[in-house]
Amino acid sequence: MRVWAVVAGAVGAGVIIAAGTGVMLSYGSNPAPVLDAAVHGYEQTAAGRLPHAFLSLATYPDSLAGEHGKGGGPHPDWVSYGPTTNLEVPAHAVVTVTIRQYDTGGPIYNPFFAKVQGTLGGTAIVNGKTVTGINPNTVAHTFTVHMFPANQPGVFISVPLPGVSATAPNLANGYPKPNVVTFSFITGGPGRYIWQCEFPCGTGYQGFGGPMSTQGYMDGTLTVG
């Protein structure tokens, strides 16, 4: 009996300690900032007249201008998306995304991700020019929303972002003149998706470590709802 009492007590204490630690950690951590798409007017589409929402993002060669603050957080030299990596857009709407891309580029492993996928018309506008893809040897990053078909509408969007020239002069903000990429897509019903960069811009093996494998840098969430 005494043994069972000791075992039961130890298990109970373990459960209480684990639960308490979890509660303390959840209160102590800062919630990740969320960027809500701003709705301005309506857009006529083949699916009818839909609200038109806008998102403005940027990709930086470091972490000094995004959600990690001016100091860049624990990894100021990691490439990053900004102003945050957690995005929220309305359901059943046209969403137009504009990305200012400040980083240099290189060849992408999988040329599939040098093509524009899943956008309205299958195109994106790069510096004012409509394209269906870019040179696979000059990709800096991609904005790729994963198709995650578990109990929610299927979505797959992938837009390549061309790299800026290594010799481009810097602007007042310290970054070179960016490539501006704009594209639109239509959302379905509510869902929660993962998006990420599919260009190996991180550290470690094949460039898929570091900022590519850490939340808050080259990946994030897209909440439709």
Partner 1 sequence: MTQDVTAPPEPAASDPANRSAARQIAMIWVVMTVLLEIFAIFVPARLMGVAASKTMTDIKTTMTVFTITAAPVAALVWSIALYSLLRWRHRGSGPPPEDGPALRGHTPIQIAWLVVSSVLCLFLFIWGLVEMQAEASQSTAGALVVDVTGQQWTWTFTYPSGGGYTSPVLYLPDNRPVIFDVTSNDVVHSFWIVQMGVKVDANPGEITTASVTPDRLGTYLVRCAELCGLYHAYMVAPVRVVTPAAFTTWLHDHANSQS
| Binding region for partner 1 (CB under 8 A) | 1, 109-110, 112, 117, 144, 146-150, 154, 156, 158, 194, 196, 198, 200, 205-206, 208, 212-215, 219
Q: Which is nearer to partner 1, 163 or 200 (CB)?
A: 200
Q: Which is nearer to partner 1, 175 or 183 (CB)?
A: 183
Which amino acid type is present at position 174? G
Which helix H or strand E contains 25, and what residues bound it?
Answer: helix 2-28
Q: Which is nearer to partner 1, 45 or 213 (CB)?
A: 213
Task: Say if residues 197 and 159 touch (Cβ distance below 8 Å).
Answer: no
Q: How many CB atoms lie within 10 A of CB 125?
A: 17
Six-digit token string for 168: 């481009």
Smallest gap, in angstroms, from Cβ of residue 156 to partner 1? 5
The span from the CA of 101 to the CA of 59, in Å, is 5
Q: Which is nearer to partner 1, 29 or 206 (CB)?
A: 206
DSSP conformation class of 211: G
**Greatest CA separation found in the chain?**
79
Smallest gap, in angstroms, from Cβ of residue 209 to partner 1? 8
Smallest gap, in angstroms, from Cβ of residue 117 to partner 1? 7
Q: Which is nearer to partner 1, 56 or 153 (CB)?
A: 153
Smallest gap, in angstroms, from Cβ of residue 224 to partner 1? 15
Q: What totals of helices (H) and strands (E) does the chain contain, helices first?
A: 1, 13
Smallest gap, in angstroms, from Cβ of residue 175 to partner 1? 27
Six-digit token string for 6: 């000791």
